[in-house]
């Protein structure tokens, strides 16, 4: 199936996409991870303000559309089923996506702003495999060490309070209209993202099962 997961920064898109990929055998396509792996690539020939994605990401601003559209286009070309996470983030990207592929299910995770700030500033990620943890809500068995691979847990550069607040503002302004745009799609389903991770997963699992 072709799945899209939408929601603000910290809503649990990455966490739930891992579950979806494992359960439904689809590829997890995430622009955030793809950009983090290519933070220092030279984008100066694309007529951008900065020469690499890094400066945009650390501030919590959007990386220019041309860069992100190319990443998604290539990833979709080599994927059969997928769960797309982190894209589209504005209406222009949504229009691009329409030219690239169709969608079966669109999941929209809802979480309040206060909760998002707590989740993001407390998040830790594995430096080796990218697995997500939280200092309070999702602790590893051993502090600072990844359960999956033994890697070191670190804080993302954009999970400081200032960048987090900017990311949430960018979401309100650019990405909320994308969610409104998809609300009339047959496959659209709103999920209460403020429940426990297991409860959110149960709702998502059932919603996808019903539609594919």
* Residues that bind Zn ion in the complex, under the rule CB under 5 A: 126, 128-129, 131, 146, 148-149, 151
Nearer to ligand AP5, 93 or 108 (CB): 93
Sign of CA dihedral 176, 100, 67, 24: positive
From start to end of the chain, where are the E strands? Answer: 2-6, 27-30, 82-85, 105-110, 123-126, 132-134, 153-154, 188-192
Q: Looking at 5-13, 20-28, 43-51, 139-147, which segment touches ligand AP5 (CB under 6 A)?
A: 5-13
Using CB under 6 A as the binding rule, whether residue 28 contacts ligand AP5 is answered as no
Q: How far out from the chain centre does Cα 188 lie? A: 17
Q: Which residue number is nearest to ligand AP5 in terms of Cβ?
A: 32
Considering only residues 64-93, where is the footprint of ligand AP5 by CB under 6 A?
68, 86-87, 89, 93
From 39, 54, 156, 211, the catalytic residue: 156
Least distance between Zn ion and beta carbon 32 (Å): 17
Q: Pick from 120, 121, 127: which is nearest to 37 by CA?
A: 127
User: Rounded to whole angstroms, what are the CA distances from 48 to 31, 53, 62, 93?
Assistant: 18, 10, 12, 17
Nearer to Zn ion, 155 or 165 (CB): 155
Among 167, 179, 191, 204, interactor with ligand AP5 by CB under 6 A: 167
Question: In this structure, what token pair is assigned to residue 51?
Answer: 């020469």
Among 196, 206, 209, 212, interactor with ligand AP5 by CB under 6 A: 196
The DSSP secondary-structure symbol of 137 reads T
SS3 27: strand
List residues forming the annotated binding site.
10-15, 31, 36, 61-63, 86-89, 93, 123, 126, 129, 146, 149, 156, 167, 195
């Amino acid at each position: 199936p072709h799945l899209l997961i939408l929601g603000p920064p910290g809503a649990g898109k990455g966490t739930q996409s891992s579950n979806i990929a494992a359960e439904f055998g689809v590829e997890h396509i995430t622009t955030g991870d793809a950009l983090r792996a290519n933070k220092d690539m030279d984008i100066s020939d694309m007529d951008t303000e900065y020469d690499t994605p890094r400066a945009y990401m650390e501030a919590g601003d959007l990386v220019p559309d041309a860069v992100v559209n190319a990443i998604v286009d290539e990833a979709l070309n080599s994927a059969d089923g997928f769960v797309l996470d982190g894209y589209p983030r504005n209406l222009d990207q949504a229009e691009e996506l329409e030219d690239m592929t169709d969608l079966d299910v669109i999941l929209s995770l809802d979480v309040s702003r206060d909760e998002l700030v707590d989740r993001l500033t407390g998040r830790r990620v594995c430096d080796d495999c990218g697995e997500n943890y939280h200092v309070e809500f999702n602790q590893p068995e051993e502090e600072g060490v990844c359960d999956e691979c033994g890697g070191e847990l670190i804080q993302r550069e954009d999970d400081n309070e200032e960048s987090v607040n900017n990311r949430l503002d960018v979401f309100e302004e650019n990405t909320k209209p994308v969610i409104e745009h998809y609300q009339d799609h047959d496959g659209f389903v709103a999920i209460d993202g403020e429940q426990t991770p297991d409860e959110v997963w149960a709702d998502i699992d059932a919603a996808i099962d019903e539609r594919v």
